[in-house]
Amino acid sequence: MNVLDLIGNTPLVELKKTSSELEGVSIWAKAEFRNLSGSVKDRAAKAMLTEGIEKGLLRPGKTIIDSSSGNTGIAYAVLGAVLGYPVRIYLPANASRERKTILACCGAAVVETSPLESSDGAYLAAKAEANAHPEKYFWPNQYNNDVNWKAHYHSTGVEIWEQTAGKVTHFITGMGTSGTFMGTARRLKEYNPKIQAVAVQPDSPFHGIEGTKHMASTIKPGFYDETFPDRFAEVNTEAAYARTIRLAREEGLFVGISSGANVQAALDLGRTLPPGSLVVTMLCDSGFRYLSDGFWGLTND
Ligand code: PMP
């Protein structure tokens, strides 16, 4: 097996204890922490780098450069190692310590940008450097590259349809670049236009749901179409933390905060749905990426 084949085809797991709070509605989640570099972002990163190589834009001598809240950067670092390219990542300084350590361990150069400017500051800094030295860099530009959402159109959406034998009724997930949401939901609606696509966002501009964006207060990704979601859902950071802890302690799923936010939003949605509904969401990464976070409530925090 090729190491790149460890990306995609993740298991879809039923959240039995969480679903038991609902009447006849089940919640299922894609175990994206099972991807090669440990997050959902492997899918988009692999597709963008592969396309860059095919188009001759990513070739020997070039460095991969982009901004990231951490997970795409880690995916680039791991894929850069496999494909033989150096990687330079711009990320907000308040990204978790684990993300920075993993990037360094995988050999990526890391440039920290102002935490106050969040993902926008990292994006603008990467853009300036990429545009200043185009001969040096390959800039996938994950926020504006259609290959990002299409990676999910060609993989995640197909997998969910097949794994639920076409029974999925709702797809709900948070958005960073919105690639996961836009690509997966587009594909599912092609299979069955009745499938409802629900976009999750943090309930305020200053939030702790790492990897996700409060769209109204940040630069909108180029391919994000705000008229596309059937519905929007908001999650409060404290509720996302609490759900993340419950997922570990009740479902055996030690996952990250955006996964907690997704499951909380799926549960809130499930309470409004008729029996027989099947809600699918994403477990974007693992709890190992947030060990240094205080919200676990451990005595050594
Ligand atoms: N959760 C986490 C932890 C992430 O890192 C990201 C990507 N920034 C997302 C969710 C959202 O993924 P997407 O960019 O496909 O919207």
Residue 143 in domain: no
Domain total for the chain? 2
The question of whether 292 is a catalytic residue gets the answer no
Residues 195 and 286 grouped into a single domain: yes
Give start and end residues of each alpha helix (H) in 33-133: 41-54, 71-83, 97-105, 118-132
Q: Judge whether residue 301 has pLDDT over 70.
A: no
pTM above 0.85, yes or no: yes
Residues 27 and 160 grouped into a single domain: yes
Look at residues 241, 245, 247 and name the one whose alpha carbon lies nearest to residue 261: 241
The question of whether 62 is a catalytic residue gets the answer no
Mean pLDDT value across the chain:
97
More confident: 94 or 7? 7
Residue 147 in domain: no
Atom of ligand 1 at shortest distance to CA of 149? 15
Residues 113 and 188 grouped into a single domain: no
- Average pLDDT (78-94) is 97
Domain stop point among 107, 138, 169: 138
Residue 148 in domain: no
Residue 121 in domain: yes
pLDDT band at 300 (very low <50, low <70, confident <90, very high): low
Q: Please list every protein residue whose CB sits less than 6 Å from any atom of ligand 1.
A: 39-41, 69, 71, 174-181, 210-212, 256, 258, 284-285
41 CA to centre of ligand 1 in angstroms: 7
Give the pLDDT of residue 128: 98
Ligand 1 atom 12, closest CA = 176
Look at residues 26, 37, 32 and name the one whose alpha carbon lies nearest to residue 11: 32
C-alpha to C-alpha distance for 75 and 40, rounded to whole angstroms: 9
Catalytic residue among 67, 119, 178, 258: 258
Residues 14 and 99 grouped into a single domain: no
Residues 274 and 160 grouped into a single domain: yes
Q: Judge whether residue 299 has pLDDT over 70.
A: no
Give the range of the structural domain holding residue 163, as residue numbers without chain letter: 3-34+156-296
Residues 23 and 49 grouped into a single domain: no
Residues 101 and 245 grouped into a single domain: no
Here the CATH number for the domain that contains residue 14 is 3.40.50.1100
Ligand 1 atom 8, closest CA = 211
Q: Which amino acid is at 157?
A: G
36 CA to centre of ligand 1 in angstroms: 16
Residues 165 and 80 grouped into a single domain: no
pLDDT digits (tens, 9 = 90+) for 106-142: 999 999 999 999 899 999 999 999 999 999 999 999 9
Atom of ligand 1 at shortest distance to CA of 256? 3
Domain stop point among 103, 138, 173: 138
Residues 220 and 248 grouped into a single domain: yes
Kindly tell me the sign of the dihedral angle through the C-alpha atoms of 42, 177, 145, 73: negative
* The pair of three-digit structure tokens given for residue 111, joined into one six-digit string: 């440039």
CA separation (Å) from 62 to 80, 139, 144? 11, 10, 20
CB of 67 within 8 A of CB of 41?
no
C-alpha to C-alpha distance for 264 and 266, rounded to whole angstroms: 5
Residue 18 in domain: yes
Catalytic residue among 30, 41, 62, 213: 41
Ligand 1 atom 5, closest CA = 211
Look at residues 52, 268, 130 and name the one whose alpha carbon lies nearest to residue 44: 52
Q: Judge whether residue 219 has pLDDT over 80.
A: yes
189 CA to centre of ligand 1 in angstroms: 21
Q: Judge whether residue 236 has pLDDT over 80.
A: yes
Give the pLDDT of residue 298: 83
* The pair of three-digit structure tokens given for residue 128, joined into one six-digit string: 């300036």
User: How many C-beta atoms lie closer than 10 Å to residue 59's C-beta?
Assistant: 11
pLDDT digits (tens, 9 = 90+) for 16-70: 999 999 999 999 999 999 999 999 999 999 999 999 999 999 999 999 999 999 9
CB of 89 within 8 A of CB of 109?
yes
Residues 238 and 282 grouped into a single domain: yes
Domain stop point among 138, 168, 198: 138
pLDDT digits (tens, 9 = 90+) for 20-34: 999 999 999 999 999
Residues 67 and 83 grouped into a single domain: yes
Residues 69 and 91 grouped into a single domain: yes
